[in-house]
Structure 1
Amino acid sequence: MEGSEILELYEIQYSDLVLLSSSLSSCSHQEEMIMENLGPTGPGLLAIANVPDVSLLRRKLLHLSRRLSLHRPEDRKRILREHKLGSDVPLKNPDRNASSFAMQLKYAHGPESIETKPSHRVDSHLNLENVNIGSTSDFQDDGFDDLENMFKALGFCMMELGLCLARICDRAIGGNELEQSLLDSCAAKGRLIHYHSMVDSLVLREDGRRKGSSKKHANNHARSEQKLSKGANLDTNGNEVRPCEIHPNLWQQWHYDYGIFTVLTDPMFLLSSQQTTANTEFPISSDQECASPSGHSYLQIFHPNKNKVLMVKSSPESFIVQVGESADILSKGKLRSTLHCVCRPARLENLSRETFVVFLQPAWSKTFSISDYPMEYFKPGCQPLEEAEENNFVDQDQNALTREFQKTVPPLSARLKDGMTFAEFSRETTKQYYGGSGLQSNK
């Protein structure tokens, strides 16, 4: 789908976001544009540009993502432990499509300590002045010494962006449920993600073959080769999922995020190479930062109002904010969640993709009411096939995509019941996507 129509995101400047979030007035043009892009007729996401003092921090942290993913397992375990990071993918699986490193990011001391000034709205004692970012020349070193502080500093910055946006949306919707729901959760989840190039997969497979028993790897070798040649599809939790018939080569399958907002960096792309020398036991893999080969992010969304797939383009070093299903529910449909995936570039086996994501969600005990939620939004994320055919919708590719969504994306109506807590909703969502009988389980 690299030929998909390009969506250039609506972009708001950071300075305007802060001013708008602290303003008592409403109905400004920018507020209208925010709600138009995040609402039921829009794509469900936007970009925030020119956030101060984070450019070098973003670059260094994203560079570390690949290096941490390809580190020797015993060294990686030590680094993760020292920097209070975990992983939500099985890093022992050499056929995984992505490596992910996660941390809970806590708001300062709960809602009572949050002040009006945006910079005080999260725990800011680890500001950029306390982080040894270094310079671009440091990128040749491992540079893991300040990983925890860099992770937190960028994460807290992105939490601030989400809180500012929640306040603006609350004012347009009425009340303050979105912002208060974020604060009541007391924490967000940060995730540093490396989407593997095929070269990375080769390095991991060869490394695993050396460490494992010859019998075990002999039995699994054919399966690994087959997955590698096809580009094994894994969800972000590391579960192997059924290949998408329409888009067989995805880094991440089609899904909805089920929190309130997902804030993510504009991705970085790295070109990698592999060589083996007589003096090394393992292949040497190097990387070089490059521009997106197609000029976009390789994040794809399905735009329900246009009933088509769009490829997302954002300005370099901006932050993308996506609406999750919890915001959709809490806003009574005034914000619409985004069905999305991440596709792998064709014919570029040495290209990897790096990003940093913060998931903003309500408290696990938050109760959802659907009494005022528009029932038509309970449908799957695209026009039903029968309706498309009745309307003489003749685009066969689109009909095929509609069928694919119906087979792989569980509708909200099957996952959400009135009175559910967020914890119950998230468990049911995970079960229906990736559980033993889930639509994207390894059957």
Structure 2
Amino acid sequence: MSDFDMMGLDDALVSRLTAMGITEPTPIQARAIPEALNGHDVMGLAQTGTGKTAAFGVPLITLLSRVGRKPARGTVRGLVLAPTRELAQQIAETLKALTEDTPLKVAIVVGGVSINPQIKRLERGIDILVATPGRLMDLMERRAVDLGSCSFLVLDEADQMLDLGFIHSLRKIAAVLPKERQTMLFSATMPKLMNEIAQSYLNSPRRIEVSPPGKAADKVTQVVHFIAKAAKTDLLIELLDSHRDERAIVFGRTKWGCEKLAKTLEKAGFATAAVHGNKSQGQRDRAIAAFKSADVRVLVATDVAARGLDIPDVKHVYNYELPNVPDAYVHRIGRTARAGKDGAAVAFCAPDEMEELAAIQKVMKSAIPIASGRPWQPIEDPAKPAARKGPGGAAGKPGGGGARRNRRGGRGRSTARKAA
């Protein structure tokens, strides 16, 4: 008998979990599922790739199945909110697999596609609706969805919803939900504003924290190259060339920059696709499908792909440009080392990105090992005590010779290949 059996789950649901390769619960699942099944609100904090979707999906499906009634026309019984289309799609796929051959109906509503088919789908009534806040607000304004009988609310990756400015939408959506409901909130990081969400939407929640906020996946190896901005593309091509048969995700900051980089990598002979906000939903879906099937080996993306991509065989993540929001780094590198596998995360740091690197290391509470080059300016190691100030008020010299400016980018070919 597995731990899932001991939770009192339906045999058919346990069988579906097994068919999906989920035979034993992860730490977040083992602690969150029993609390949710007992009717408690749950606030789950766990790093990416630890099975949060099943942690809320299993109790949601179980509790809805126990009620036994069908949703009325135009109504929703359970609502799952996600910040991006890709994450919403991933959640919906998992929930549909978990509800296969059951009466429960799962639907998804996201932007970037026609709203009319979504309106028609909602007319029949939905057991579990997975939605992005913006599209759900559009549907609410058209009076195409009734949330008045929704008894379950799940906020997944709630920290990113704050980063993307969805707090006002969340307030409007929560205002039309019944006060008597069960709410589950899941996140990989814990910004200060999360307490406001917890206090506003959760009732005496059970807080479950299986890893410190900001902690990377256990089996991901991280390195940073201090390199001039103009030399980044050459280094990236060199590193990608050392593992052409393995999947890699390359993260950039801007839509234009990612599109340009993808075309450059294609010219260099790599099977490449791009995912960013200027792509239609169909284009993004096709790019991700090609990446999953390994027809495409390199995916160049903005942070729209930093969450929601659950592809176990991604071996490498490249931070071609460091993110402005340090928590985004944790989610980016969480695309590798998933499902207990190993992975590598490589960061490129140009002179104007030292502040971003310092912020990332502060959030992670550890210094990222240096693969090549030297820091462009002194940077404090968050794992060490702060340096004492001398008589003149200046801090002591940092270790490792990092105070000198690295004018050449300092990378060597042998070092770069070793880091790959």
Same fold judged by TM-score > 0.5?
Answer: no
Question: Which protein has greater RCO, CA pairs closer than 8 Å, 6+ apart?
Answer: 1
Class of the TM-score when normalised by the shorter of the 2 chains: under 0.3
State TM-score, norm by structure 2.
0.25
Larger radius of gyration: 2
